[in-house]
A and B are shown apart, each in its own frame.
Chain A
C-alpha cells in the first residue's frame, strides 16, 4: 500500500517537472502571442510577463497591412504550396519510373541518387545564385520555388522509389490487362495508392519550405515586396525604428500556420521523423 502511494507520488512529481520544463520550453511562443496583444507602453512595462492588461487586436491589422505581413504571408504561401505540388509530382513520377520499370541508364541514375544522398551538399549557394541570375530569374518568386524544388527532389524520389517497390506487381498487371498504358497506370493506379506517402512528403516539404530562410533571403535581396514572412521579419528587426509589438504580431502570423499544421498532424510528423532514423 505504501509502495503504491510512493509510486503515485513519484509519478506526480514527474508530471510536475515535465510540465514546468515544458512551460519554460514554449515560453518564447507564449510571450510572442501575449506581447502581440499589448500596447507599446504595456509592452515596455510588462517585461517578460505574458498577459496584456487589455488585448489590443489592432496590432494584427497593422502588421498585416502597414508592415506588409499580409504580402509576406501570401508570398510564403504561394512559394510553399507550389513547391509542394511540383516536388510531389516530380518525385512521384521519377520514383515510379525507377521502381517499376527497367531501362538503359537506370543504374547510372540510381548511382547519382545514392551519391548525392550521402554527400553533404556543403555550401553551393554561389553557383545556384549564378544559375538563377543567368536564367534571368533573380528577384522572382519563381527562383525560390525552382531552387527549393530542385534541391529536394533526390530525397523525395528516394522515398517514393522505396514506397512503390513495396507494392505488389498484381496491382499493375490487372490494369494492364484492361489495356492501361504508362500514364493511366501511373495516374489511375499508382498515385491513388500512394496517398500516405504523398501526405508525409507533402507535409515535410511544406514545413521546410515555409521555414526556409536562406533561399528567399538570397533571392529577394533586391525586391522587398517579394519577401517571405521569415525574411520580412528579419528585415523588420534591422530597421532603425522597430515597432516591437508589431514585430511580435508579425512573428505570430509567421509561426501560426506551422503550429496549426503540427497540432493537427503531430502523430504523422513524429512517426515520419522517427522512421528516418530507423532506416
Chain B
C-alpha cells in the first residue's frame, strides 16, 4: 500500500530525522517485489554492460595472452605500443576513411530516395521501401559471404563494364587488390545500410507539416525553393540524429569487413574493430597463427571507446545547442 502512495505523490519521503533510518528500511522492505522484478535486469546489466567498461581498463596494464590470470604488469607499455604500432594507425585511418566516405554518400543517396518515395501520389512506395530495405535487415555476415562469392568467382564479369569504359586494362581484383579492397568494402557498406537512413529520412519528412509547403507555394516558391526553405530546415533535428547514428555505426563496422576481407589483403582493409579482434583472439581461419595480446587489444579498445565517447558527446552538445537556439528564436 505504501508503494502506491509513494508512487502517486512521488514527493519527498518522511523527513523526521530520528525516524528516517527506520522508515527508509520500511519502504525498502515494502518494495521487495520491485527489487525482485529489477534483479535480473540489474545483475545482467551490471555483469555484461557496466563491469566490462571498467574491467577492460584493468587488462591494459598487463602483458597477457589470455591464458590463466594476468600477472605480468607492464604499466602503460601497452598504450605506448599501440600508439607506435603502424598497424593500429592504419586501421584507424581505414575506419576514418570508411566513415568519411560512406556517411556523406549514403546520406545523400538515402535522402534522394526518401524524397522520391515520400510522394503520396507514387504508387507502390511500400514495395520499393521493402526492396531497398532488404539488405539492411538481413545479416551482413551472410550477405557479405554471398557478395564475396560473386566477386571472387565472377569478378571478371563484374569488371567488364570497367574494361569497356577503358578505366582499367585488366580484370579488377575487387577484394584481392590492396588498392581496391577498402573501396569495395566501402561501396558494399553504402549499399548495405542505406535502408536504415532511407527509413529515418522518410520518418523525418513525414513530420514536416503540409501547410508549410502550401504556404511556400502561395509565396511563389518553386520545387527547389521549397526544398531549401521548407524540407531542409524541417529535417534539421532528425538529420542531426541520422548523421551521428551513421558516424557511430560506421566507426564500429566489423561483420562486413570480417567476412569480406578479414582486414586484408596485407591489412589494406583493416579497420579498428578487426585490429582489436585479431590482437585479442588471434587470426582465425586464415591459418596464420597470431598470439593473442589481450592487454594490447584492451588498450586499443579503450582508446577506441574514448574516440566514440568524444563523437557521442559532440552529438549531444550539438543537439542541445540546436534546441537552445530554436527556443531562443
Task: Using known A-B contacts A104-B24, A255-B142, determine if residue A93 contacts B40 with beta carbons closer than 8 Å.
Answer: yes
Residues A100 and B7 in contact, CB atoms below 8 Å apart: yes
Given known contacts A116-B49, A274-B199, A102 and B10 CB-to-CB distance under 8 angstroms: yes
Expressed in whole angstroms, the Cα–Cα distance for A116 and B87 within the complex equals 30
Which chain A residues border B88 with CB–CB below 8 Å?
A: none
Interface membership of chain B positions 16-33, coded 1 if the CB is closer than 8 angstroms to chain A and 0 otherwise: 000000001001100101
A177 smallest CB distance to B (angstroms): 11
Q: Are A26 and B134 in contact (CB under 8 A)?
A: yes
Contact of A25 among B3, B42, B132, B311 (CB under 8 A): B132
Residues of A within 8 A of B290 (CB): none
Q: How many of chain A's residues have a CB under 8 angstroms from any CB in B?
A: 91
Closest Cβ neighbor of B11 among chain A residues: A102
Q: Verify B49–A151 contact, CB threshold 8 A.
A: yes
The reply to whether B245 and A277 form a contact with Cβ atoms under 8 Å apart is yes
Do A182 and B141 touch (CB < 8 A)?
no
Q: Using CB atoms, name the residue of chain A closest to B25.
A: A104
List residues 141-159 of chain A with CB under 8 A from any CB of chain B.
146-147, 149-151, 153-154, 157
- Cα A230 to Cα B142 with chains together (Å): 6
> Does the CB pair A103–B301 fall under 8 Å?
no
For A120, give its contact among B138, B238, B248 (CB under 8 Å).
B248
Q: A122-B305, A126-B301 given as contacts; is B3 within 8 A of A103 (CB)?
A: yes
Q: Which residues of A contact B105 (CB under 8 A)?
A: none
Give, as a whole number of angstroms, the nearest-CB distance from A108 to chain B.
Answer: 10
Any B CB within 8 A of the CB of A225: no
- Binary contact readout B112-140 vs A (1 if CB under 8 angstroms, 0 otherwise): 00001000011010101111111101111
Partner of A28, one of B35, B146, B312: B146
A93/B38 in contact, CB under 8 A? yes
Given contacts A11-B122, A15-B124, A101-B7, contact A234 B145 (CB under 8 A): yes
| Segment of A51-59, A60-68, A193-201, A213-221 engaged in the interface with chain B | A213-221
- For A104, list chain B residues within 8 Å (CB): 24, 27-28, 31
* Known interface pairs A238-B286, A248-B149, A274-B199; A97-B139 also in contact (CB < 8 Å): no
CB distance B284 to A221 under 8 Å? yes
Whether B52 is near chain A, meaning CB under 8 Å from some CB there, is: yes
Q: Tell yes or no: B101 within 8 A of A by CB.
A: no
Docked pose: A182 CA to B28 CA in angstroms = 15
Q: How far in angstroms is the closest Cβ of chain B from A124?
A: 4
- Whether A182 pairs with B33 at a CB distance below 8 angstroms is yes
Asked if residues B40 and A128 are in contact (CB atoms below 8 Å), the reply is: no
**Complexed CA–CA distance, A101 and B31 (Å):** 8
* Bound CA span A267–B126, Å: 9
The proximity string for A residues 147-182 relative to B, scoring 1 for CB distances below 8 Å and 0 otherwise, is 101110110010000000000010000001000001
Given known contacts A130-B55, A274-B199, A233 and B44 CB-to-CB distance under 8 angstroms = no
The minimal Cβ–Cβ distance linking B160 to chain A, given in whole angstroms, is: 10
Instruction: Check if B124 sits within 8 Å of A237, measured CB to CB.
Output: no
- Chain A CB within 8 A of B50 CB: yes
A271 vs B280: C-alpha distance when bound (angstroms): 38
User: Interface 1/0s, chain A 94-134, versus B by CB < 8 A?
Assistant: 10111011111000010010001011111111111111000
Nearest chain A residue, comparing its CB with the CB of B59: A126
Tell whether B81 is near chain A: CB-to-CB under 8 Å: no
Residue B207 at the chain A interface, CB threshold 8 Å: yes
Looking across the interface, which residue of chain A has its beta carbon closest to that of B316? A118
Q: B37, A14: Cβ atoms under 8 Å?
A: no
Interface flag for B53 (CB, 8 Å): yes
B224 interface contact, C-beta 8 A: no
A275 at the A/B interface (Cβ < 8 Å)? yes
In the complex, the answer to whether A94 meets B41 with C-beta atoms within 8 Å is yes
Q: Is A189 located at the chain interface by the 8 A CB criterion?
A: no
- Per the bound structure, the CA–CA distance linking A182 and B31 in Å amounts to 10
A35 to chain B, nearest CB (A): 8
Asked whether, in the complex, the Cβ of A254 is within 8 Å of the Cβ of B142, the reply is yes
Give B194 Cβ to nearest chain A Cβ, in Å: 9
Shortest beta-carbon distance from B43 to chain A in Å: 9
Q: Measured between alpha carbons, how far is A234 from B38 in the docked complex, in Å?
A: 38
Contact B28 A48 (CB under 8 A): no
Interface residue? B183 (CB, 8 A): no
- The 27 listed contacts between A and B (C-beta, < 8 Å) are A11-B121, A15-B122, A28-B143, A48-B158, A94-B37, A94-B38, A98-B38, A100-B7, A103-B3, A118-B312, A120-B248, A125-B276, A126-B280, A128-B48, A147-B48, A150-B47, A150-B48, A169-B8, A207-B137, A211-B141, A213-B258, A233-B142, A234-B141, A237-B145, A238-B286, A262-B137, A273-B196
